[in-house]
Every structure is written in C-alpha cells, then in structure tokens.
Amino acid sequence: MDAWRIAEPGADTEDVVWTVDLSQAGTGVFEVLSEEEQARADRFLRAEDRDRYVASHAALRLILGRRLGLPPRDLAFEAEEGGKPRLAGSRRGACRFNLSHSGARALVGLSRRVESGVDVEALRPMPDALRVARGHFAPEEARALAEVLEAGRASVFMGLWTRKEAVVKALGTGLALPLSRFEVSLPPAPARLLASGDPRLDPFAFTLLHLEPGPGTVGAAAFAAPDARPALRALPGDWPRRLESA
Ligand SMILES: CC(C)(COP(=O)(O)OP(=O)(O)OC[C@H]1O[C@@H](n2cnc3c(N)ncnc32)[C@H](O)[C@@H]1OP(=O)(O)O)[C@@H](O)C(=O)NCCC(=O)NCCS
C-alpha cells in the first residue's frame, strides 16, 4: 500500500500527488466554482457525475489556492491546445497540475517545475479487457496481458490503463496520442515507461508511479522528469470545511 500521509494543503514547493475522498463533499462546495464550472456541472445528466465533478474541482481549487496563497474562488484556468487545463491570469505558470476523478476518489498531481499527469480508476469487472488491449495498446502489452490469469486480468488491465493515461495526460495530448505508440510495464512490476515511438516521449525523461489512492481504486502518476520523487499526501476527510475559511 502507498504511504499516503494525511496533511493540510499548504504552500510547500515540492512535487506532490494528492488523493482526495470526494464522498464527504456535500453541496456547499459548489459556491467555490467559477460560473463556467457551475454551468458545466449543471449539464451533467447523472447526479453522481455532477457531484464528482463539483467535488473534485472544489478540492483542486483548495489545493492550488493554498499552494499559491490565493482564495480558491479567485483562481482562473484556461486550456492548452491539446485540452490540458492550466492556470491563467496573474498566476499563469506559477504551478503545473493535473486532475483525475473516478468513483469517490480524485487525484491531483502538482509541480512547480515539470508537467505531471494522473489517472485514477475505480476497480470494476472488465470482460472486454483483452479486446480493448488488442485494439488500442502496444502489441507487447496486449500479449503480456493475455498471459495474465483471467481472475486477475481486470485489475492488471486497470493498472496498465492508468499508467498509459497518466503518460498522455502529462504530455497534454490526452487520448489524441494513440495508446499503441508507447509501452509501459504491467502491474505488479514497478511502473515504468519502457519504449516509445513518439519523439515527445523519451522513456529516460519520465518518472511513472503506481498508486493505490483509496479502497477499490488503482491509479498512476507520470512526471516529465527522470528523477521525480513526489510526496504522497491525502486531504483530511473533512477538507470541505477548509473551503469555508479559505
Ligand atoms: C483527458 C482524458 C485523458 C481524460 O480521461 P478520463 O479518464 O476520462 O478522465 P480523468 O478524470 O482521468 O481526467 C479528467 C481531467 O483531466 C484534465 N484534462 C482534460 N484534458 C486533458 C489533457 N488533454 N491532458 C491532460 N489532462 C486533461 C481535466 O482536468 C479533466 O477534468 P474535468 O473533465 O473534470 O474537467 C480524455 O478524456 C481525453 O483524452 N480527452 C481529450 C481528447 C479526446 O477526447 N479524444 C478523443 C479521441 S479518442
């Protein structure tokens, strides 16, 4: 199990991956979002998608606001060309971050110096894991997954998937970069970028981490540096109360 340390979000300067329990967020956190975020939240059809969106963006604002010494409501965002959100306005470039959410869990990657990408997935049955891997992953990954016993294949697939998503999110391309263009290690092997057919992805220039962010979830983080050692932090369970005083 990862060594997550419960901590107050603060103005530390090191690389960090935060894990957040979204289940306690309640409705009060909606007010901290921008009008644009509130409008997007209201377009979700399913209440659980809306609630997860609201809670994860409120938690992101709390973490970034504390780090930058700004009220969470005052942060402004814009999208890079490939869609990756970044800080806008006076704090543009002050800190790089990435967000992922699934089920009741969010991950936030933070760094002052390099890009990061994070991905969390709630573990669930994956009857079509091999079909997806053969259709979208590198051939060597699909072959290795086929050798995993069926009983354990879904969790290995999800681990592999989060490693690959973390990489494309660090790059900022999202799924516009074909997932077959590079190869990562399969769990339970330590997370590593093994090979790449894309000039933007040098296996020696990325650090990959396997994460277990909360019960029933698997995750990964990628940092665009060969030597990244991010601290693993967990927001206290009553984090929404910090927004009232922030
Ligand atoms: C970005 C992407 C990888 C998200 O993956 P996901 O597992 O569905 O969702 P996650 O919770 O892990 O991440 C979502 C967050 O990633 C961030 N994000 C969005 N675009 C991103 C990008 N290009 N790079 C990095 N991060 C991105 C946002 O903060 C987003 O949060 P929000 O949706 O609440 O605003 C994926 O949706 C994607 O690639 N989208 C853009 C390209 C696309 O749609 N291609 C389709 C062709 S196949």
Q: What is the pLDDT at residue 1? A: 59
Separation of CA 149 and ligand 1 centre (Å) = 30
Please state at what angle helix 129-136 crosses helix 150-171, rounded to 10 degrees: 40
Counting residues of the chain whose pLDDT is more than 70, the rounded percentage is 99
- Say if residues 104 and 207 touch (Cβ distance below 8 Å): no
**Domain spans, the chain:** 5-114+229-245, 120-223
Q: Which residues contact 61 (CB under 8 A, 6 or more apart)?
A: 32, 33, 72, 73, 75, 243
Find the 174 Cα to ligand 1 centroid distance in Å: 6
What length does the chain have?
246
| Ligand 1 pocket residue status of 165, Cβ below 6 Å | yes
Nearest CA among 128, 145, 121, 98 for reference residue 210 = 121
- Is the shortest distance between the CB of 222 and ligand 1 below 6 Å? no
Fold (CATH) for 5-114+229-245: Ribosomal Protein L22; Chain A (3.90.470)
Point out the ligand 1 atom lying closest to the alpha carbon of residue 53.
Answer: 34
Query: 5-114+229-245 and 120-223 share one CATH topology?
Result: yes
Tens of pLDDT, residue by residue over 99-154, are 999 999 999 999 999 999 999 999 999 999 999 999 999 999 999 999 999 999 99
**How large is the average pLDDT for residues 33-61?**
96
DSSP H or E run through 5: strand 5-6
User: Does the structure show a pLDDT above 70 at 246?
Assistant: no
Atom of ligand 1 nearest to the CA of 80: 23
Domain 120-223, CATH 3.90.470.20 — does that match?
yes
Peptide bond into 188 cis (omega under 30): yes
Distance from residue 166's CA to the centre of ligand 1 (Å): 10
Say if ligand 1 is within 6 A of residue 135 CB: no
